[in-house]
Amino acid sequence: MSGAGTTGEAVLQARDVAKSYGNVQALKGVNFDVHRGQVTTLFGENGAGKSTLMKILSGVIRPSAGEILLDGRPVAFHSTTEARDLGISIIHQELSLAPNLSVRDNIFMGREITTATGVDYAEEERQTRALMEELEEEIDPLTPVEDLRLGQQQVVEIARALSVNARILIMDEPTSALSASEVEVLFKVIRDLKARGVSIVYISHHLEEALQITDHAVVLRDGTMTARAPRSEIDLEWIVRNMVGENFDLGSPPEGHAIGDVALKIDGLSVPDASATGRSAVDDLSLELRAGEIVCLYGLMGAGRTEMLECIAGRLPKSGGRVLLEGRELGRASIAERIARGLVLVPEDRQRDGLVQTMSVGENLSLASIGAFTRGLFTSRRRERELVETSIRDVTIKTDGGQAAIGSLSGGNQQKVVIGKMLATKPRVVMLDEPSRGIDIGAKAEVFRLLAEGAQRGLAVIYSTSEVGECLSIAHRIIVMRRGKISAEFGPDATKEQIMAASGEAVVA
């Protein structure tokens, strides 16, 4: 193992912890320390064992072998409630909120504030407002969670963890859906928590971002710890080298193929803002996408990227303009009709919109293509199996097979299932909203490779991102959005500073 030892008192320790799921060994004798009043960042590819280790430390699951020490004494958590009562709280990578309940009710679910006459809703509401103020988010405590955008739901998840006054706080991808300004607020909160002696375990695939906040770094690879070091001894190259064994980029715009005719034309598109009556989330926007071309759509939260893509896919209504697919206007075509005509969307929230959690990997992969192997009331299991096996192979999904539960896959492999499901419909235009959200650098490179290969076959690709580094990878063109409009267009030779300036983002010197 590389790296020097760490300093400071270890408040929580994993000793020779292993975890097996049948023949799959997720953790292989891991030793891991959490230091009092400091941030320990855990790096690793999807499937490396990070979330499994965190679930063990927070009482979600029990280890197959090894022990957990809290303040130097062995402990055995049988539930998250037991761990929480001992001061350990976790913010999960995938949101665990009840969408039909209010923000207040989600924060205090299972630990309601009660008096002799029942639940003290007024005090819960007061504390919720105080948490929202601390996180600098204007969210009414009585708002149903399902009415919030994804980034705001992530803030509610963070607020719930903060509300229990944990002494050890585990953050599994807490910024995956946050805007740049929300990340800054979260980092301020983390620094305040450190000052109060709270120990934090931080997991993130945003490597440069994580370096801003960490005190110690630990790298997991294939269920084994490969490196650990204090912040003073690590940099981006150190992290990538220990995660994936080599320092590589996300690719470059594919070449050697012809850029074809216009596949998708957006003409004067306007989309109403669901959160503000009379305002447009997308305002009179026009754009063309050609066969064989990859276009990156960059912008900050609220720029209108998601609303534009969801409107084109038929998920949101438009208030003006036209959308034409290969010269034919889509009009009021349904989502299913758009898919049948060759237009597909990989949504931002894969858990809510991209996958059916009760279905297997294979059932999720074949869901959008069910018409290809169904005649009347009869389904060809052979043709479905062939489609699933082809998708698993072509998209390189790491799974035990099509029968495996979708929840058994890492975040990166779940994302590849969503992409594989869309590619299985034989589309001509693929739209992807934040396709790399919550996945590691290795899985991200694989996703971008799939898109580049698709473009070389004549596929028209447009993907959105809020990470400026992802713009300068495989895109032939970079479109910057700001307040519902296109503010700039660049080629692949643009600089990060140009892109950030066009989006209205402050450029750090």
Q: Would you say the pTM of this structure is higher than 0.85? A: no
Decide if pLDDT at 2 tops 50. Answer: no
**Which regions of 177-327 does DSSP assign to beta strands (E)?**
199-203, 216-221, 224-230, 262-272, 280-290, 294-298, 320-325
Dump pLDDT digits (tens) for 35-90.
Answer: 999 999 998 876 788 888 988 998 889 999 999 999 999 999 888 888 988 889 88
Q: Which residue has the higher pLDDT, 345 or 205?
A: 345
Range with the largest mean pLDDT of 227-236, 276-285, 299-308: 227-236
* Residue of 227, 232, 286 whose CA lies nearest to 262: 286
- Give the mean pLDDT of 471-486: 92
- Give the mean pLDDT of 202-211: 82
Q: CA dihedral defined by 397, 403, 404, 409, rounded to 10 degrees? A: 30
* Average pLDDT of the residues of the chain: 85
pLDDT at residue 129, rounded to an integer = 94
- pLDDT grade, residue 506 (50/70/90)? very low
Decide if pLDDT at 13 tops 60. Answer: yes
Q: Are 203 and 42 in contact (CB under 8 A)?
A: yes
Give the full edge-to-edge strand order of the sheet including 280-290: 280-290, 262-272, 320-325, 328-329
Q: Which residue has the higher pLDDT, 8 or 455?
A: 455
Range with the largest mean pLDDT of 89-103, 113-127, 154-168, 351-365: 113-127
CA atoms within 13 A on the CB side of 294: 27
Q: Are 137 and 168 in contact (CB under 8 A)?
A: no
Q: Which residue has the higher pLDDT, 446 or 216?
A: 216
pLDDT at residue 3, rounded to an integer = 45
Angle (nearest 5°) at CA 439 between 253 and 454:
35
What's the N-to-C CA distance of the chain in angstroms? 36
pLDDT at residue 23, rounded to an integer = 72
Dig out the tokens for 63 from the structure. 């280890």
- Give the mean pLDDT of 343-369: 82
- Give the mean pLDDT of 479-500: 90
| Range 9-244: architecture per CATH | 3-Layer(aba) Sandwich (3.40)
Regarding the domain delimited by 251-342+427-508, which CATH topology (the fold level of the hierarchy) does it fall under?
Rossmann fold (3.40.50)
Decide if pLDDT at 229 tops 70. Answer: yes
Q: Which residue has the higher pLDDT, 369 or 281?
A: 281
For the chain, give every residue range classified as CATH 3.40.50.300: 9-244, 251-342+427-508
Instruction: Please tell me the distance from the alpha carbon of residue 403 to that of residue 417, in angstroms, as a whole number.
Output: 13
Token pair 């009869």 is at which residue? 378
Q: Which residue has the higher pLDDT, 96 or 315?
A: 315
Dig out the tokens for 169 from the structure. 């706080």
- Give the mean pLDDT of 99-105: 93
Decide if pLDDT at 285 tops 90. Answer: yes
Dump pLDDT digits (tens) for 397-430.
Answer: 888 788 888 888 877 788 888 888 888 888 999 9
